């Protein structure tokens, strides 16, 4: 399974988990003009440690290279399955996914290695600037909706959304969907 397909599966799963299934068949109204709907980020908000961030289009080998210091740290700190932790990262897993997975974890090890744990651009933005993340999600949603994708309602907290059916454009891994994603997050 390609990295993009895995990322799409995780994104859809997270979106469905966060937003539930309500409103999946409802048509969403969007403003006819661009508006700034999110407030400014909270001043002095702590976003946690600075962590390595990989590009949206990073290859699996690039992510593995960025993650090597982290997996080495986990092994040094006594985590029994650091390779499985890396596999979760490659699938787009979050820190919460890693902490709840059965990887022979030890709380002290996770905390000690957290500054080296890599995260995707989107995960980093959600953690460090949720307002900007929500605005980017909103743009991605509008683009995907305009491209003809059938989508779930965006989550009110994060703006994350899912796809309700695979149509002629394809799924989350399709080129049109990924182009909307790149346009929204790179602008």
Looking at the fold, whether 109 and 157 belong to one and the same domain comes out as: no
C-alpha 108/C-alpha 78 separation (Å) is 9
**Residue 20, domain member (yes or no):** no
Could you tell me which residues come within 8 angstroms of residue 100 by beta carbon, excluding any fewer than 6 positions away?
A: none
Looking at the fold, whether 131 and 83 belong to one and the same domain comes out as: no
Q: What is the pLDDT of residues 12-44, one digit of tens each?
A: 444 433 344 334 444 444 444 444 444 444 433
Please give the DSSP secondary-structure letter assigned to residue 164. E
Looking at the fold, whether 129 and 186 belong to one and the same domain comes out as: yes
Looking at the fold, whether 108 and 128 belong to one and the same domain comes out as: no
Domain count, the chain: 2
**Residue 67, domain member (yes or no):** yes
DSSP H or E run through 53: strand 53-54
165 lies in which domain range?
Answer: 120-187
Could you tell me which residues come within 8 angstroms of residue 56 by beta carbon, excluding any fewer than 6 positions away?
A: 120, 121, 122, 181, 182, 185, 186
Answer whether residue 172 shows pLDDT above 60. Answer: yes
Looking at the fold, whether 108 and 130 belong to one and the same domain comes out as: no
Looking at the fold, whether 128 and 74 belong to one and the same domain comes out as: no
What pLDDT is stored for residue 102 in this prediction? 62
Answer whether residue 94 shows pLDDT above 60. Answer: yes
The mean predicted confidence, pLDDT, of the chain is: 75
Q: What is the mean pLDDT of residues 148-174?
A: 90
**Residue 111, domain member (yes or no):** yes
Looking at the fold, whether 73 and 125 belong to one and the same domain comes out as: no
C-alpha 162/C-alpha 178 separation (Å) is 13
Looking at the fold, whether 135 and 177 belong to one and the same domain comes out as: yes
Percentage above 70 pLDDT, the chain:
66
**Residue 173, domain member (yes or no):** yes
Looking at the fold, whether 184 and 125 belong to one and the same domain comes out as: yes
Looking at the fold, whether 111 and 149 belong to one and the same domain comes out as: no
Looking at the fold, whether 87 and 131 belong to one and the same domain comes out as: no
**Residue 70, domain member (yes or no):** yes
């Amino acid at each position: 399974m390609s990295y993009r397909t895995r990322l799409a599966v995780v994104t859809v799963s997270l979106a469905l988990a966060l937003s539930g299934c309500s409103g999946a068949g409802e048509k969403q109204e969007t403003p006819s003009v661009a508006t700034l709907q999110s407030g400014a980020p909270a001043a002095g908000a702590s976003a946690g440690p600075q962590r390595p961030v990989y590009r949206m289009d990073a290859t699996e080998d690039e992510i593995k290279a960025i993650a090597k210091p982290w997996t080495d740290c986990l092994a040094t700190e006594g985590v029994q399955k650091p390779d499985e932790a890396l596999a979760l990262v490659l699938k787009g897993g979050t820190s919460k996914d890693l902490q709840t997975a059965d990887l022979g974890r030890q709380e002290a090890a996770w905390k000690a290695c957290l500054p080296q744990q890599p995260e995707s651009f989107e995960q980093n933005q959600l953690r460090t600037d949720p307002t900007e993340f929500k605005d980017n999600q909103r743009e991605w949603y509008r683009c995907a909706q305009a491209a003809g994708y059938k989508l779930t309602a965006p989550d009110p907290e994060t703006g994350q959304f899912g796809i309700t059916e695979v149509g002629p454009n394809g799924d989350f891994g399709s080129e049109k969907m990924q182009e909307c994603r790149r346009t929204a997050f790179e602008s």
